[in-house]
């Protein structure tokens, strides 16, 4: 009797809550760290990037107006589902990053724990980063952080799940929506994360995942007039990408830009901070007179 032939997955983009192929019809081969064929991933085009921005913009007001408690619950639910898909993530990370089984397990565990950590900030960040201001006059005056809007993320190239979670979760926890360009060589965990998000309670369009050539898609996001901010965490090690050039493109629309911290990517083992959240928020200050 012959062995069973396994059913392989088709990896597609995740845009607006759906899984389209690239409108360009293009794909590229994804291999393991040892060069074995893993999948054909969608090779996103400029048009796919623009579609993703439109989906992110449409979803943003609704996501931002959900209560912080609700956003916290929805994101915590994602962690529950990540735990349930742990085996697949470990397999994806092992194949893509060439880690030992133990290290891949540790990376996936850290990613899930990080997601939980950021989810918990949803209804606390305004208390920690906002405050009343004792102005010299009869006025009520309150400052609080609000989401910046649509954030383009160049995901880390090496750490395909933990790195991705480390930059994505802090963006969406406050009510931003995101267009993620996944790791070019290791895109599979990002698409699997998209599948988790699609079956969770995160509304479609809050997270959009593009796979393909970073050098092709990142400049579209950097110069797009409806993108408010960029996280360039993965730009330092992207083929054919100079992060300073992306930042220069972003200057034309006064985007907030989070630069890569160094020329090489961190391990992401300890990279979680409220600063990562606040980089994609705006302080709003409201005044009102006091009177009888």
Partner 1 sequence: MSAFEYAPAPESRAVVDIASSYGLFINGEFTEGSAGSLKTINPATEEALAEVAVADESDVDRAVAAARRAQEKVWGPMPGSERAKYLYRIARLLAERSREFAVLETLDNGKPIRESRDVDVPLASAYFFYYAGWADKLDHAGFGANPQPHGVVGQVIPWNFPLLMLSWKIAPALATGNTVVLKPAETTPLTALLFAELVQQAGLPAGVVNIVTGAGATGAAVVGHRDVDKVAFTGSTAVGKGIAKQIAGTRKHATLELGGKAANIVFADAPIDQAVEGIVNGIFFNQGQVCCAGSRVLVEESMHDELIDRLKARLGTLRLGDPMDKNTDIGAINSARQLQRISDLSDAGEAEGAVRWSADCAIPENGFWFPPTVFTQVSAAHRIAREEIFGPVLSVLTFRTPAEAIAKANNTPYGLSAGVWTEKGSRILWMADRLRAGVVWANTFNKFDPTSPFGGYKESGYGREGGRQGLGPYLVEGSTR
Would you tell me which residues interact with partner 1 (CB under 8 A)?
65, 128-129, 131, 133-137, 139, 141, 143, 148-149, 228, 242-245, 247-248, 250-254, 256-259, 275, 278-279, 282-289
What does the block give as tokens for 61? 């007001």
Unique residue bearing structure tokens 């993530």:
89
Query: Does residue 212 contact residue 41 with C-beta atoms inside 8 Å?
Result: yes
- Give min distance, CB of 288 to partner 1, in A: 4
Helix extents (H) in the chain:
46-65, 68-84, 86-97, 101-119, 125-129, 162-172, 188-198, 214-223, 243-251, 274-278
- Give min distance, CB of 67 to partner 1, in A: 12
Residue 87 or 128 with smaller CB distance to partner 1: 128
Residue 156 or 175 with smaller CB distance to partner 1: 175
- Give min distance, CB of 60 to partner 1, in A: 11
- To the nearest 10°, report the CA torsion of 239, 245, 249, 255: 90
- Give min distance, CB of 291 to partner 1, in A: 9
Cα–Cα distance between 76 and 71 in angstroms, integer? Answer: 8
Cα–Cα distance between 10 and 159 in angstroms, integer? Answer: 22
What does the block give as tokens for 287? 């005044």
Residue 19 or 139 with smaller CB distance to partner 1: 139
- Give min distance, CB of 239 to partner 1, in A: 18
Residue 94 or 148 with smaller CB distance to partner 1: 148
Listed residue (233, 269, 207, 231) closest to 71, CA to CA: 207
- Give min distance, CB of 61 to partner 1, in A: 8
What is the strand order of the sheet 256-258 is part of?
207-210, 177-181, 150-154, 229-231, 256-258
- Give min distance, CB of 257 to partner 1, in A: 6
Residue 188 or 257 with smaller CB distance to partner 1: 257
- Count the Cβ atoms, other than its own, within 10 Å of residue 105: 17
Query: Does residue 133 contact residue 287 with C-beta atoms inside 8 Å?
Result: no
Residue 35 or 289 with smaller CB distance to partner 1: 289
Residue 87 or 248 with smaller CB distance to partner 1: 248
């Amino acid at each position: 009797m012959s062995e069973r032939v396994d059913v392989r997955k088709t990896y597609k983009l995740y845009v607006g809550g759906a899984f389209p192929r690239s409108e360009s019809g293009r794909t590229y081969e994804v291999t393991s760290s040892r060069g074995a064929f893993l999948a054909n991933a969608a090779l996103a085009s400029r048009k796919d990037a623009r579609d993703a921005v439109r989906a992110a913009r449409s979803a943003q007001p609704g996501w931002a107006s959900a209560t912080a408690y609700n956003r916290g619950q929805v994101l915590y639910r994602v962690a529950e589902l990540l735990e349930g898909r742990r085996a697949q993530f470990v397999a994806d990370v092992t194949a893509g990053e060439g880690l030992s089984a133990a290290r891949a397990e540790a990376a996936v565990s850290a990613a899930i724990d990080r997601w939980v950590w950021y989810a918990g900030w949803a209804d606390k960040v305004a208390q920690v980063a906002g405050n009343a201001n004792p102005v010299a006059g009869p006025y009520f005056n309150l400052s609080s952080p609000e989401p910046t809007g649509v954030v383009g993320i160049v995901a880390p190239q090496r750490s395909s799940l933990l790195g991705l979670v480390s930059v994505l979760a802090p963006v969406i926890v406050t009510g931003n929506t995101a267009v993620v360009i996944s790791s070019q060589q290791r895109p599979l965990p990002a698409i699997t994360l998209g599948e988790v998000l699609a079956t969770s309670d995160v509304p479609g369009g809050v997270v959009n995942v593009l796979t393909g050539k970073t050098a092709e898609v990142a400049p579209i996001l950097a110069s797009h007039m409806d993108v408010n901010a960029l996280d360039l965490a993965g730009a330092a090690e992207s083929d054919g990408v100079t992060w300073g050039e992306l930042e220069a493109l972003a200057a034309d629309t006064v985007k907030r830009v989070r630069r890569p911290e160094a020329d090489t990517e961190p391990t992401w083992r300890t990279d979680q901070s409220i600063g990562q959240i606040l980089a994609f928020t705006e302080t709003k200050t409201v005044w009102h007179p006091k009177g009888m």
